[in-house]
Structure 1
């Protein structure tokens, strides 16, 4: 079915699910099987050679997982997709399958902490050079790309300070040098932003977050150009970081309410950001929906919504952070985001727990920062909860 004329709320439900499935089930069956049997050796061989559609071994492909991959392809406008056991598996497999010793990567200083650790510690072990630029300095990014690189790795909005990159501008610069452009779209979700339409080659999601949406399963997704996705698939086939069909089913189920949840979270996060922006105990609010945000104009151009994540700095340092978070009722102090329930915490225990305090400081992440992932609770209750907690700081 051609979904190009349909809205994302419809696409989230029906993409990958329009074909008749086993016994006419109206939900995607979970194919909990390791292997797939064939009654004819010639058919088995044709499938093994890729000349005929089918499945052989669930480490490679699985019907339940395939529905999820088709769904993200349609939502992101991608040619192909591949699922992983976690978001970090998606990121690391992408990097290690596309890079080799001697290659050069250009990226930003504000990427997710696990990604930063790959850039700072692991890729250099394989003689892969990494140049990390100031995130909002597009001129520096363009200069470094012009020097030559194999891959450009982006993230917008960034985790945890919600900085915004002009994806179209950077992708255009990368195309001039033939570099592959990869962008982590976890914070935005495909409801709010589609990097492929802006010139990005590969889009990564930690589907553990907004796509799954309920903090009950883990998954990573990579989608984009078929040629590149097939390379990553070849690496994952041997690396083994495949997605279990049970987890695929959970993400598929979560994605059916994706648009509803994200729209609610967009609206609530903006109201909360505006409330915090006026509070005397709050030093600074980071949310691209605020007109005062450095990247607001770019975000308006490339996003249809500003997302459910915001962060803010408190006066009084880390003790104020502890005081506020310990005096709030409607929040899980937990290291994730994008859930139906509100989650919050400082980077030292969430996005950048892998890094030292000195490394976080180098990246401009203060110890007084709180990342706040807005759930789908009533926003008036969330603001009242923040008010009560801030009164005790």
Structure 2
């Protein structure tokens, strides 16, 4: 959030307008919706890849910045970054993409036309879920403006956290390659399994029967994590609100680590057999 707030406060002037996707990072949406208005900054939230709505907002407002998570969490919706960047730039708006869920290995928004890319360094970059930090990359011109605000807010990393992030970056490409392979093989294994779909209570029993993954809400580290978004991340939403944004009660989000695929597969299959 230190990185996100620094970008918004340094690049969106009073009287400016922000466009954000409806399924972007919850804390960021709340800041855009509730705090920027106190500074005379307005905002519109649009569905991801709804180009008609985005065009309308760009034409009717003085938009300073477009913000989105891509892929989104936990639904994995992906933005056409190149198309959105071309559209926003034609109206003088900057494009700011949170690419945390993809990692810098799987997606490079700056190459696709975005002006700024955000990563939660807590996730893939730092490796062990033991650091709280964020990072923003972009042109020297934009970063110099953000850096000043970043220091004013008191959000620079402490040396120990910076060291641990640098440590984790050294194995980033190796870990993500392993995690990609595990996730793909697991998808093939489970896509036709008869016990994958279930109700809320069955889902809870499955999660509790797993032995290897930790039950936690982070992602991208060496250890596999599992969580039930309806219970752990969207618990304060009503059932109707969750259904509207696609969060089903029986949805499970896995974030695979670097354990052996065979061990993870055996664990998942034994948990399914208990349903």
The bucket for the TM-score relative to the shorter chain is: over 0.9
How many angstroms apart in 2 are the aligned matches of 1:377 and 1:146? 50
Structure possessing the higher relative contact order (Cα contacts under 8 Å, 6 or more residues apart): 1
Query: Measured at CA, do residues 163 and 199 of structure 1 come closer, stay the same or move farther in structure 2, by a change above 3 Å?
Result: same
CA contact (8 A) 2:3 2:150 kept: no
Q: Report how far residue 133 of structure 1 moved.
A: 1.2
Distance 1:95 1:277 in 2: 40
Distance 1:143 1:341, change over 3 A: same
Q: Are residues 371 and 142 of structure 1, via their aligned partners in 2, closer, same or farther at CA, if it must alter by over 3 Å?
A: farther
Q: CA deviation at 1:130?
A: 1.9
Please state if 1:188 is matched with 2:102: yes
For 1:194 and 1:116, locate their aligned partners in 2 and report how far apart those are by CA, in whole Å. 23
Residue 363 of structure 1: how far off its partner (Å): 2.5
Q: SS state of the match for residue 240, structure 1? A: coil
Shift of 1:359: 4.5
Q: 2:53 aligns with which of 131, 140, 145?
A: 140
Quote how far apart the aligned CAs of 1:124 are: 3.3
Aligned-partner SS, 2:101: coil
Residue of structure 1 equivalent to 2:198: 315
In 1, Cα distance between equivalents of 2:49 and 2:270? 35
| Closer/same/farther in 2, CA of residues 234 and 248 from structure 1, 3 Å limit | same
Separation in 2, partners of 1:349, 1:337: 17
Q: Which of residues 234, 245, 248 is equivalent to 1:363?
A: 245
Contact kept, 8 Å, 1:136 with 1:163, in 2: the verdict is no
Q: Is the 8 A contact 1:159 1:351 kept in 2?
A: no
Runs of 4+ with >6 A deviation = none
1:219 matches 2:140: no
Identify the residue that residue 389 of structure 1 maps to in structure 2.
Answer: 271
- Of the structure 1 ranges 112-121 and 358-367, higher mean CA displacement relative to structure 2 is found in 358-367
Instruction: Provide, for residues 344-368 of structure 1, a one-character-per-residue CA deviation record: whole Å limited to 9, x for no partner.
Output: 1122465546x53354444322222
| Residue pairs, 1:10-21, within 5 angstroms | none
What's the counterpart of residue 340 of structure 1?
Answer: 222
CA contact (8 A) 1:113 1:352 kept: no
- 1:380 maps to 262
- Secondary structure, in 3 states, of the residue corresponding to 1:369? coil
Change (3 A) 1:159 1:326: same
Gap runs ≥5 in structure 2: none
Cα distance between partner residues in 2 of 1:352 and 1:200: 29
Distance 1:146 1:385 in 2: 52
Maintained 8 Å contact 1:146/1:173: no
User: CA contact under 8 A between 1:158 and 1:187: conserved in structure 2?
Assistant: yes
TM-score by length of 1: 0.66
Distance in 1 separating the partners of 2:2 and 2:260: 34
Instruction: Name the structure 2 match of 1:230.
Output: 144
- Conserved? CA contact 1:98–1:231, under 8 Å: yes
Compared CA separation, residues 239 and 326, structure 1 to 2 (3 A): same
* Count of aligned residue pairs for this structure pair: 273
Would the alpha carbon gap of residues 277 and 119 (structure 1) be closer, same or farther in structure 2, given more than 3 Å must change?
Answer: farther
RMSD over equivalenced CA pairs, Å: 1.8
Matched, 1:98 2:4: no
Aligned equivalents of 1:350, 1:145: Cα separation in 2:
35
Structure 1 position 155 matched with structure 2 position 55: no
